[in-house]
Structure 1
Amino acid sequence: MSIQFLPYLSKDLIKLLENKKNYDFIINIDDNDNKKEFCLHSIILETRSSFFEDAISNGLAKKENNIYILNFPDISVDVFNIIIRYIYGGTIDLNNKPAADILNLLIDCEKFKLKELYDYVQDNLIKHHQSWIFQNFILIQQVSFKYSEFTKLQNYWTTIVHEEPEILFNAIDFTSVNKEVLLSIYKNENLCMEENELWDNIIRWGKAQNTELPEEINDWTTNDFNILKNSLQDFIPHIRFYEISSEDFCYKIMPYYSVLSNDLYQDLSKYHLVPNWQPKFNNLKPRKADFSVPINPKSIASNFLSFNSDIPSMIPDTPKIPKIPKFSIDSDLINHEEAALISSWIQGDEEIRISNDLEIYHEFHLLIRGSRDGFTNTVFHNMCDGKGPTIIILKLKNETSILGGYNPINWDINKHGNYEPTSESFLFNLGEEIILSRVQKWENAIFHSNRGISFRDLQLIDTFNLERGVYCTKNAYDKKIHTQGFYIADEYEVFSVISKS
């Protein structure tokens, strides 16, 4: 009987990766500030990955001074580190990795033909990053259906849409969804959504496809209605208009009557006005969804993984996808609508209502997460000093509301003991009642402290997740965001703020 000592082999090969001995292959990763050169070994690369075998044989990898060279400007250093350690050592660790990195890892596994990792990486996303999937629902569709072998994500996405379509329709980028994708959803007889809501959403989608249409429908011309009609004509046969109430017909359908055929509109009008009218075009059976049973979308993931469902894919392929979401936030505390609201505050808006229609002015890049990196003042300053404008997001122990603050200048431990004046900082509470508190005493807006984070009215001190780790008061900002006193941080995150302009 043979005995395997694979962990020793893995350890030795990782050592070879790290000491670069006798390397003959250089891979340059990332074109941004985080670029890195990897010194590798062609015999290992071509043995473990058919991509590298082809790259060497077909000349994609250029050879200079007996060294093969490849450049991957669109792959991040963090993701390639995971891939190359797997290629050498056969191990992979996705603990505490951002969901966006894991999705990009899945894409890059396809690039390097590491098929044995497809299911593992998809399972990790589904099991550990459900909230991020819901926040980036359109992106997940675009990625998963571009690659035919990403069947687990395809089936999971399809299941979610069937059972909780609001996640799709409430997505901030819903109107960018492909027409064929959306049409296949409207054809689904098991869709859990009322017909009046489906009508509202398809009108919203149709308008977004034709940005030249006036914002106010009262300003529309006959040609404007015809433009919308052309965009929606394939959807109309799949909406159960006769299940829409008379009130919704009056206020939602009638303003867009020109989108319907004249025969259908006349028949619908008689159906709602004439007692016992027998409809002529009521050919669709009611959808089979049971609206009386509440659905918890987050339970779908565990059920999906437990039963290893083999649901047939219903959504067609889409030709192009963005590598990175148009807007997303890698946060365990806030969603992208809340992030968009914070972005509007940075821009100077005073809106305190969460909406998926808010314009997005900034990108938020995660610098630190307490549960991943630590809750100490030392870790904060090491990872966040000198990073420019930042947003602090904080959840207190045994509380549900989210507190936070915006610092438009650098954190700097070397300025310990000094106030930094600014008129642009603010604090907030994203609770049931949203509170925006702008700085009032601008000369006391930010206090540099070697003990942690201080907005004067919101302070994170020493070890933030211990007793007296958080302090709230009312002094330098115009509104109180929380009852005065000491608290314990349950989680906190810091994001660098980058203007999209």
Structure 2
Amino acid sequence: MSMDIVDLKPSLLEDLKKLYKNLEKDNNNDYNVTIKVEQKSFRAHSVILKLRSGYFRNLINNEIRRMANMFNRRITLEISDINSEVFASCLKYIYTGEFSLQEDNDFLFDLFIAAETLKLIDMKLVEQLERFYLVREATPPPNALPPRTPRRLKRNISTYSTRSPTEPTTPTEPRLQRKNTLAKVPIVVNRPSIRIKPISSIINIRQMKRISHWIDRVESGDNNNDFFLLAKGTWDSMTKIKFHNLCDNKGPTLILARIDNTNDIIGGYNPHSWTSSNQWIGSTESFIFSFKSESREGIDDINFSRINNPNAAIFDGDSNLDVGFGSDLSLFSGEYKHVHYQRRIMNCDTFTIKELEVFQIRKNIRTA
């Protein structure tokens, strides 16, 4: 007796797409997860999230264990490390296997980071984004993110759409196809050249990229700096002695601080090593800045200032004095004055730091 096998993949994919579209309807109650990202809320189904994302599988399992009567209550999750627009693209991909490349390069970069953060099971999204960056006339340097996509390539490519969220890929054919087909090119695993280990809990990826551009004195383009965490902690736990034990003689550093009460973010870049010398360090490359708390996910509301008096750019105090950027930003004493840097970055003269992070900055040197 023979048995006919019906391929349900096309109809299953269509059903998943309908399920995704129904999530947006106001009268839809067929969901059991609410995900809060920035000021937006997204609806979803735990079974889909757990199957498609390793990140959500762990998060939901932990939440279920914590909750009582789980079948009678919806699960609420909060995500703070991903932009809401980027997350919307990730959620669409989880349900439909589709994502668009008609976005600017900053958005695609953030989408790449988010896909890895969410640990999408089949990782097609990560691989497709890597391929998108790797399609260029010249062979990219090893272990480096290729330059931004040429305009002519961006005109020729509109959207990738995987055949099915569960269908395996066969990346063997070196060709690029249009919408509704899976792009098949050899996988070359290159990670973005900006690396933050671990990712800052004070600022986001986009803000970190902007700071990297400031360091290089460019408006846009590749990120040529690696960020390695040296120190992280609350203000009560971060003493001057600990700061110098962890951060002295480490080369260029970036200091980030969150201010108590306002949650505004301040920081500064020292292109030289901290050495506890109790001397002024001259520099033309140092800068200080602030981000408003309500603009943490944006990059426009910024107060940025380069040094005006290079001879007094950095004060390299020891554990008995202070570390600071000119006479302007004294971190441990919590004082700000507009003296040696070009622009004012704060409206107050005193502040209390709530949280502090210090990153070592290393140039990501690429070899041809």
TM-score (norm 1): 0.40
Candidates 292, 317, 323, aligned match of 1:453: 323
CA contact (8 A) 2:289 2:303 kept: yes
Task: Supply the distance in 1 between the matched residues of 2:94 and 2:211 (Cα, whole angstroms).
Answer: 31
Q: Which residue of 1 aligns with 2:124?
A: 181
Deviation of the 1:130 alpha carbon: 4.6
Deviates more, 1:170-179 or 1:369-378: 170-179
1:454 aligned partner, one-letter code: G
Q: Do the aligned partners of residues 126 and 184 (structure 1) sit closer, same or farther apart at CA in structure 2, a change above 3 Å counting?
A: farther
Q: Which residue of 1 aligns with 2:364?
A: 500
Q: Which residue of 2 aligns with 1:333?
A: 202
CA contact (8 A) 1:158 1:314 kept: no
CA contact (8 A) 1:441 1:476 kept: yes
Higher RCO (C-alpha 8 Å, min separation 6): 2
> Residue 311 of structure 2 aligns to a residue in which SS?
helix
Whether 1:364 aligns to 2:227 is: yes
> Residue 454 of structure 1 aligns to a residue in which SS?
strand
TM-score (norm 2): 0.53
Task: Supply the distance in 2 between the matched residues of 1:453 and 1:493 (Cα, whole angstroms).
Answer: 14
Task: Supply the distance in 1 between the matched residues of 2:237 and 2:264 (Cα, whole angstroms).
Answer: 21
CA contact (8 A) 1:378 1:452 kept: no
Q: Do the aligned partners of residues 473 and 360 (structure 1) sit closer, same or farther apart at CA in structure 2, a change above 3 Å counting?
A: same
Whether 1:420 aligns to 2:287 is: no
> Residue 360 of structure 1 aligns to a residue in which SS?
coil
CA contact (8 A) 2:253 2:269 kept: yes
Q: Which runs of 5+ in 1 are unaligned?
A: 1-118, 139-153, 186-201, 218-223, 239-311, 352-356, 462-468
Q: Which residue of 1 aligns with 2:243?
A: 380
Which structure is higher in helix share?
1
CA contact (8 A) 2:98 2:160 kept: no
> Residue 346 of structure 1 aligns to a residue in which SS?
helix
Task: Supply the distance in 2 between the matched residues of 1:409 and 1:126 (Cα, whole angstroms).
Answer: 46
Deviation of the 1:338 alpha carbon: 1.2
Task: Supply the distance in 1 between the matched residues of 2:57 and 2:188 (Cα, whole angstroms).
Answer: 18
Q: Do the aligned partners of residues 362 and 315 (structure 1) sit closer, same or farther apart at CA in structure 2, a change above 3 Å counting?
A: farther
Q: Which residue of 2 aligns with 1:101?
A: none
CA contact (8 A) 2:213 2:223 kept: yes
Deviation of the 1:458 alpha carbon: 0.9
CA contact (8 A) 2:254 2:360 kept: yes
Q: Do the aligned partners of residues 411 and 125 (structure 1) sit closer, same or farther apart at CA in structure 2, a change above 3 Å counting?
A: farther
CA displacement 1:124-166 (0-9 Å, x = unmatched): 799899545779x99xxxxxxxxxxxxxxx9998369899x99
Task: Supply the distance in 2 between the matched residues of 1:322 and 1:208 (Cα, whole angstroms).
Answer: 10
Candidates 316, 337, 343, aligned match of 1:479: 343
Deviation of the 1:336 alpha carbon: 1.8
Q: Which residue of 2 aligns with 1:442?
A: 310
Q: Which residue of 2 aligns with 1:268?
A: none
Candidates 123, 143, 155, aligned match of 2:58: 123
Question: Percent identity over the alignment?
Answer: 25
Task: Supply the distance in 2 between the matched residues of 1:126 and 1:321 (Cα, whole angstroms).
Answer: 33
Which structure is higher in strand share?
2
